[in-house]
Amino acid sequence: MSRLARVTQAEERLDQPQSDVRLLEQSLRHVAQVNRWLGGDRSVLRVLRQSDPRQPLALLDIGTGSAALPRRIVHWARRSQRAITVRATDVHPQTLALARQACRDYPEIIVENANALQLPYQSGTFTHALLTLTLHHFNDAEQLIVLRELVRVSRQAAVVSELERGWPNYLGSRLLAATWWRRNPITRHDGPLSVLRAFTPAELAAVAHRAGLQTTVQRGFFYRLLLVIPAQ
């Protein structure tokens, strides 16, 4: 089977400034389900579990969507009796409103607007900065800026979780688009496109290298890629 070519120019509907709120909320729920059941959340939690349990966690989650990952992390921290605070950020006004509603019972989470290209935080503000299924939304030049910003605000590590672009992920997304996602035009469009805009392991490693960062790409469950970039 031939190599699956990368798409760099197409826009995902989640990035459009206005959407039907009901469809947007459902589409963000679809994204959260992909992260929960296909390895994304699990890989991020594995990194956090390796941190010193005696030290409080201060996390930044960029491109948080419905803040599903911060909420899952807080549930883990509560069970583990870990002190934790999370800044869950996005730039989409409708998405931020949905995230604030979802986090109303989570005092550990502050939802706010923050642009990943110019984060409004001092260097070393957070123990970890997280970026899940978001790097592929930026163009090639912006990806370097985003990674450098993640590392700048982190005291311990920046954690980037992405899809692996390949036929298994793409065919799986097409199947979901024809079944589970078929009634939602946002997810039906964005799911397969997200795979086409994503990375191979070599491509993701090259992005980090061009940003001047020392790290390696880890491959996780169901064709997920993970960059764990130590503070540099």
Where do the domains of the chain lie, and which CATH numbers do they carry? Answer: 13-230 (3.40.50.150)
Per-residue pLDDT of the chain (232 residues; tens, 9 = 90+): 568 999 988 889 999 888 899 999 999 999 999 988 888 899 999 999 999 999 999 999 999 999 999 999 999 999 999 999 999 999 999 999 999 999 999 999 999 999 999 999 999 999 999 999 999 999 999 999 999 999 999 999 999 999 999 999 999 999 999 999 999 999 999 999 999 999 999 999 999 999 999 898 999 888 899 999 998 7
Q: What is the mean pLDDT of the chain?
A: 94
Predicted confidence at residue 17, as pLDDT, reads 84
Cα–Cα distance between 40 and 25 in angstroms, integer?
A: 19
Cα–Cα distance between 145 and 161 in angstroms, integer?
A: 17
Helical (H) or strand (E) element with 230: strand 224-230
Question: Per-residue pLDDT tens for 187-222?
Answer: 999 999 999 999 999 999 999 999 999 898 999 888
Cα–Cα distance between 157 and 227 in angstroms, integer?
A: 10
Alpha helices in 50-120 (DSSP H): 68-80, 93-102
The pTM of the full predicted model, rounded to 2 decimals, is 0.94
